[in-house]
């Protein structure tokens, strides 16, 4: 378990990584009571996926409205992108299987035909 300072530092580093890739500030919000480890894992997977999208000239425009990334706990793992917020839901009861894959995060950002 990370302490509050380490958690804040991780969120700040991840925000910096995404913000640098995007060329503007992207806020990171993590709200997990049951499984901090799962929320952290989801945060890393999600921010890595966003950086990959940002590096792709054809996919980058899909991120033009991105302002925040939010990781929360819920009943089912999910990823949704709306109103500038990329929201990732993790299901702590399912362990590591309770977080969306990077492919699912990418599909939330880039609409499929």
pLDDT of 63: 97
What are the CA-CA distances from residue 76 to residues 6, 46, 73, 89, 98 (Å)? 27, 16, 8, 7, 7
pLDDT of 79: 98
Task: Determine which helix (DSSP H) or strand (DSSP E) holds 40, and give its type and residue range.
Answer: helix 36-54
Spans in the chain with pLDDT lower than 70: 113
């Amino acid at each position: 378990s990370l302490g509050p300072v380490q958690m804040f530092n991780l969120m700040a580093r991840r925000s910096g990584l995404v913000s640098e890739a995007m060329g503007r500030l992207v806020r990171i919000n993590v709200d997990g009571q049951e499984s901090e480890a799962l929320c952290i894992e989801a945060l890393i997977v999600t921010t890595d996926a966003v950086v990959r999208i940002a590096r792709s000239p054809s996919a980058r425009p899909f991120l033009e409205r991105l302002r925040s990334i939010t990781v929360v706990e819920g009943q089912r793992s999910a990823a949704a992108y709306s109103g500038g917020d990329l929201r990732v839901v993790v299901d702590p009861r399912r362990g590591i299987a309770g977080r969306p894959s990077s492919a699912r995060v990418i599909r939330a950002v880039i609409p499929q035909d």
